[in-house]
Amino acid sequence: MRVVVTGGAGFIGTAVVRALAPTVDDVVVLDSLRPDVHRDAGTAARDRMSALGAQLVEADVRDLPTVRAHLRGADAVVHLAAKVGLGVDLDDMDDYVSSNSLGTATVLRACHSAGVRHVVQASSMVVYGEGAYTCDTHGPVSPALRTTDRLDRGDFDPGCPVCGADLSPALVGEDTAPDPRNTYAATKVAQEQLAAVWARETGGAATSLRLHNVYGPGMPRATPYSGVAAIFWTAAAQGLSPQVYEDGGQRRDFVHVDDVAAAFVAALLRDVPGHTAYNVGSGVVHTIGDLAAKLSLLAGAPHPVVTGRYRLGDVRHITASSERAARELGWRATVPLRAGLDGLSFS
């Protein structure tokens, strides 16, 4: 079996390539080695891929002739290449759309030309926006957008769109309608929709894995595009207090990168025509403040500082059920948060 992994030299990609190595005959990695991700010009990434026995091709997924050439003879594609994170401001919007939406369309077009009929795509829990909530009076509701007026007052939790009362966060299932709240989220929805169109028109199998907050060995150091675990750990490892936005009560699901890699392998083994989405999380809810406190303790750093600052594009609570992945892929996360944090390191 020959598998092409786009974005395979990155944090999650490296774990996926490592997990694939014992189970497939040939792994080809396409990665642009963009400098905002690989600050050493890709030297460490090249060394990692070589050690794993994978062929690394420096290529942008928007380069159709190059992508198509390397997909010939492949049995499946794992599509990870994307610009990630919330970003800095609207000046990032065109780069997100080009890298993620156009990049995915180009990969899918190349799959069609090369005869590849199985694609597993990295999506994200951000497609759900504010997720699922329940009002004591009005039942399940979709909360309205959080406004700057509320956030400036420190009123971080969204209220009921009908009566304004406090809401109880609930787990989100895959059938929940997408509700992207920032540019990155909008591009992840677009990626899924493009994969669904491709599967319908070709008869191929497309799987979108909606990843929760991924952490683990090899995660990138803090940048404006890093996940919150990397941002906190960068500060704590330098003996500084992690800076926690809002009041630290935001609910998230932190899933270890090795569990995520296992989910991709499981999805590759399910070659069913059509498009299917799966939540990929640990199933255990933690708060942002709880994560910061654990990382500070682990690094011997000062306690986190709760700043009250906010980013308008952030969501308050987003946690989801991963039971569909357990039923249909036979996958469950196995690494507890504390055990996973003990093995943290940077790429």
> What are the start-end ranges of the E strands in the chain?
2-6, 26-31, 55-58, 76-79, 118-124, 132-135, 139-141, 168-170, 205-211, 213-215, 243-244, 251-252, 254-256, 274-280, 286-287, 305-306
Phi-psi region of 12 (alpha: psi -120 to 50; beta: other; left: phi over 0): alpha
**Mean pLDDT, residues 168-183 taken together:** 92
Lowest mean pLDDT segment, chosen from 22-26, 191-195, 240-244, 286-290: 22-26
Whole-angstrom Cα distance, residue 197 to residue 96?
A: 20
- pLDDT score, position 264: 98
HSE, side-chain direction, 13 A CA sphere, residue 179: 18
For 92, the token pair is: 């990032």
User: What would the pLDDT profile of 254-298 be if each residue is shown by its tens digit?
Assistant: 999 999 999 999 999 999 999 999 999 999 999 999 999 999 999
Provide the pLDDT for residue 85: 80
- Count Cβ atoms below 10 Å from residue 155 Cβ, excluding itself: 12
Q: Is 48 helix (H, G, I), strand (E, B) or coil?
A: helix
CA proximity to 19, closest of 57, 56, 52: 52
pLDDT band at 224 (very low <50, low <70, confident <90, very high): low
In sequence order, which residues have a C-beta less than 8 Å from that of residue 317 and are 6 or more positions away? 130, 131, 133, 157, 169, 250, 251
Average pLDDT, the chain: 93
pLDDT (0 to 100) of residue 330 = 98
> Which pLDDT does position 31 carry in this prediction?
97
Q: Looking at residues 27-37, what average pLDDT do you find?
A: 91
**In sequence order, what are the beta bridge partners of 27?**
3
Question: Would you call 233 helix, strand, or coil by DSSP?
Answer: helix
Residues labelled catalytic: 184
pLDDT of 191 higher than 60: yes
End-to-end CA distance of the chain: 29
Check residue 143 and give its pLDDT: 87
Q: How far apart are CA 200 and CA 195, in angstroms?
A: 9
The dihedral region occupied by 320, where left means phi > 0, alpha psi between -120 and 50, and beta the remainder, is beta
Res. 346: pLDDT tops 70? no
Query: pLDDT of 105-139, one tens digit each?
Result: 999 999 999 999 999 999 999 999 988 999 999 99
Q: How far, in Å, CA of 97 to CA of 116, rounded?
A: 24
Domains (range + CATH), the chain = 2-131+172-343 (3.40.50.720)
pLDDT value at position 216?
Answer: 92
Confidence band for 87, pLDDT divided at 50, 70 and 90: low
pLDDT at res. 223: 63
Query: What integer is the mean pLDDT of 16-37?
Result: 92
Write down the pTM of the prediction. 0.94
pLDDT band at residue 312, thresholds of 50, 70 and 90? confident
Nearest to 160 by CA among 192, 183, 136, 196: 136
* CA 327 from centre of chain: 21
Q: Which residue has the tokens 């704590």?
A: 236
Percent of the chain surpassing pLDDT 90: 80
